[in-house]
Structure 1
């Protein structure tokens, strides 16, 4: 299996609507998650680029589908708009959710989804909807329990085991892991999972 260098990630393009997405070729994995769950920080840590995905204290700041290319093949990472926006109007929120839904339903090159959750607030309503979608569509999904450094090792491990066991009982293509951007913990584990999703279907 080919090893992808995630520090090669470069911004490719942004899409406000699904029709603006780049060519649907090769393979890509999308990062999804509630606003302030640590999605941008997770991607930045993975790629060793603190400026790759924008981080903000304002929920819902990422309003576009952002595509990043990876060298060595037709591989991409996709940063989906955060959900759970607190300060946006209903029309804007509906537009975002519609675009995310169309992307997830139509994108042929989508090989997996990384669902980012704050380990202290896992499995929100939208998280549950995303997991159910992955079960129904048989889409490989990796739950990233971020900010694991905010909990002591015992409670963090217990949360991980509970969620991972729940996921495994629902479908074999669902799994979870601990992740800390601050301490760079879980990066290698995430990289290995991404390698599997990106390369096994098109090599």
Structure 2
């Protein structure tokens, strides 16, 4: 998908605040500091649309980003950050669960995991729960540029085996710094939402 337009729309914590235009949505989940904002910026070709922060736990709402008037990226609060209070975690858990289980326009969840480390208990819980509720999921191993190319396959194997991923489940090795994996991930997103490129559609008509 060629991104011609992208904009932040709203930070929401309840269904009454969600966009009502029924466009397909792609959610992004993962631990704090796994690189969700950086991935969004790289995918959209924007430098600072999604604000990155050195302070974990910064995202405390569902942040909706509209792309080409065709779909939304929805950035979920990062999990696993110890300094967030139990009460705040409970509130996050409630509205995240409500969104993931009830949102009809949600077509795919991207679970981001730091490729340099074994998936955490929280990563495993999220992966198992999302598969249990039947929501399509793709695992994105981030920060591939932070380790030698010779280590990629070893770390990919660790992530897949720790999660217990079936062989055919979608998996992407990604770098927000170099753009590695961007085209492959866009291709999968297009497939998930049934996107047809207008230029290609016009050629087929001719």
Could you say what secondary structure the match of 1:56 adopts? coil
How big is the alpha-carbon RMSD for the aligned residues of Structure 1 and Structure 2? Answer: 2.0
Does the aligned pair in 1 maintain the 2:29–2:110 contact within 8 Å? yes
**Corresponding position: 1:46 with 2:69:** no
Distance 2:133 2:21 in 1: 18
Distance change (3 Å), C-alpha of 1:89 and 1:161: closer
Kindly tell me the number of residue pairs found equivalent between the two proteins. 194
Q: Larger deviation: 104-113 or 22-31?
A: 22-31
Structure 1 residue 168, shift from structure 2 partner: 2.0
Which residue in 2 is equivalent to 1:64? 61
Which residue in 2 is equivalent to 1:28? 25
Distance 1:86 1:164 in 2: 25
Distance 1:122 1:58 in 2: 22
- Of 188, 194, 197, the residue aligned with 2:183 is 188
Could you say what secondary structure the match of 1:94 adopts? helix
- Of 6, 10, 29, the residue aligned with 2:7 is 10
Does the aligned pair in 1 maintain the 2:9–2:66 contact within 8 Å? yes
Distance 2:74 2:69 in 1: 17
Which residue in 2 is equivalent to 1:93? 89
Could you say what secondary structure the match of 1:184 adopts? coil
User: Gaps spanning 5+ residues in structure 1: where?
Assistant: none
Does the aligned pair in 2 maintain the 1:28–1:109 contact within 8 Å? yes
TM-score by length of 1: 0.87
User: Gaps spanning 5+ residues in structure 2: where?
Assistant: 197-206
- Of 101, 104, 111, the residue aligned with 2:100 is 104
Structure 1 residue 24, shift from structure 2 partner: 6.4
TM-score by length of 2: 0.86
Q: Which has the larger radius of gyration?
A: 2
